Amino acid sequence: MPTQLPPAHPFDDDKLREECGVFGVVGVADAANFVALGLHALQHRGQEAGGIVTHDAKTGFNQARRMGLVRDNFTSADTMQILPGSIGIGHVRYSTAGVKGQTAIRDVQPFFGEFSMGGAAIAHNGNITNAMQLRRELIERGSIFQSSSDSECIIHLMARSMGRNIPDRMEEALRKVEGAFSIVAMTRTKLLGCRDPLGVRPLVLGKIGDGWALASETCAFDIIGADFVREIEPGEMVVITAERGVESHFPFRPNRARFCIFEHVYFSRPDSILGGRSVYETRENIGRELAKEAPVDADLVCPVPDSGTPAAIGYALQSGIPYAMGIIRNQYMGRTFIEPTEQIRNMGVRLKLNVNRALIKGKRVILVDDSVVRGTTSQKIKEMILDAGAKEVHFRIASPPTAWPCFYGVDTPQREKLLAATMSEDEMRDHLGVDSLKFITLDGLYRAVGEAGGRDSSAPAYCDACFSGEYPVAPSDMIEQGFQAKTAAE
């Protein structure tokens, strides 16, 4: 039996799961220590497993892949001693391909391969939408897969390439890949980074002393004392060495960028920078826009912690209604706290969240959350607020209704399990049993992230498929399995 872990949130399956986090560094002593710190800062992007690969002139390539959290696996001297070298990459994972919530050690990245010109390791954030098709073709040609991960296709495509060197082989492989990818890779001396032509997933470049770093988010640079230099451009590949610095290539046909708008709403840490904008400030702007679009008379604005906090602050500032911590999060609710038996499951979110009864009693409360997926958590929170004596409960949601699944690296439920796919806003309000329910409009969300004119339906600036159903890259594998994409009439 493969090693398995329970879902990252065993008492709450009502959130879109962060995809994965990637990090790499070159030109520093003890690279593995920097990679471990970077992955720790990116832990919110994946909590199931993590891995690190380094290279040292004496010992060659070294790797460690572990189930669980970075702090539990990559802090001991024994583990870090087996990862020497001045170049390294790492990955934290939440499974988006294969069996959800049941990561096997063989699926943990980075993946490593030996080629005729030397070894290479690769870590991937995103999702390959034609992975099933590629996998079939590769297996028919003799490839032997070791994992269920879509990312392994890239290694096999590189092995079959006739490119002169590893960067050339990676370029050729990625030209055959559809979907979303932000990649960090390494050879013995080179750190590589690449984003798909639409730039759906994030990747940033940093400078640390004489060395360089790549990461999914800028918050990973802060923890190691690196300076944020710039974002890797959509469709750009960088090849970095300690001696020559950063060389930039653009191997793909130019395309209009479609960065994932949900990074601004939820996935990225609020202390990161996206597109030159503070994520925290953007989320506060979302709250302000939501207050303009959906005002309501109430006594308190309360966030659903922690993801709803910046938007709740913005809503309170715009509306003039006092902000209050009406719900307190138990920060020490660990994933292995207790075996989730049926009796414990019935306690629901009470193991993670508790209502500040003295504050809530007799009040008309606005609850601000980042999204509604299945609606199960929203119902439980509403019940807790009413049990504490609230007079009214109003939900304000800092994203439009999530009505379509994501195929670009986010673990989204099947469409029929998404509340907004089967119900109108009023029907959702009645289903949740709240006094009012309002989502920010798609135009309002675009204004909050800096698009003053709102969403240009003819040329959207972001990937918003989970809200609009308009997929910038056709989800080939899912369509093959019978998924019905949105039609023009819809």
Give the active site residues.
20
How far apart (Å, rounded) are the C-alpha atoms in residues 148 and 425? 38
What is the distance between the alpha carbons of residues 397 and 312, in angstroms, rounded to a whole number? Answer: 10
The answer to whether 213 touches 23, Cβ cutoff 8 Å, is: yes
3-state secondary structure 118-161: EEEEEEEEEEECCHHHHHHHHHHCCCCCCCCCCCHHHHHHHHHC
Distance, CA of 315 to chain centre: 25
**Strand 49-56 versus strand 60-67 pairing type:** antiparallel
Amino acid at 20: C
- Kindly report whether the peptide bond that precedes residue 110 is cis, defined as omega within 30 degrees of 0: yes
* DSSP three-state, residue 212: strand
The Cα–Cα gap between 281 and 286 comes to: 9
Largest CA distance in the chain: 72
Coil vs helix vs strand at 342:
helix
Cis peptide bond N-terminal to 306, omega within 30: yes
**Considering only CA atoms, which of 28, 34, 37, 78 is closest in space to residue 56?**
28
487 φ, ψ (degrees, to nearest 5) = -95, 165
What DSSP state is assigned to residue 165? Answer: S
Give the Cα separation of 162 and 279 in Å (integer).
42
CA 483 to the chain's CA centroid? 23
Q: Which residues contact 113 (CB under 8 A, 6 or more apart)?
A: 119, 120, 121, 122, 155, 158, 159
At residue 406, φ and ψ (nearest 5 deg) are: -95, 140
Contact 88, 22 (CB under 8 A): no
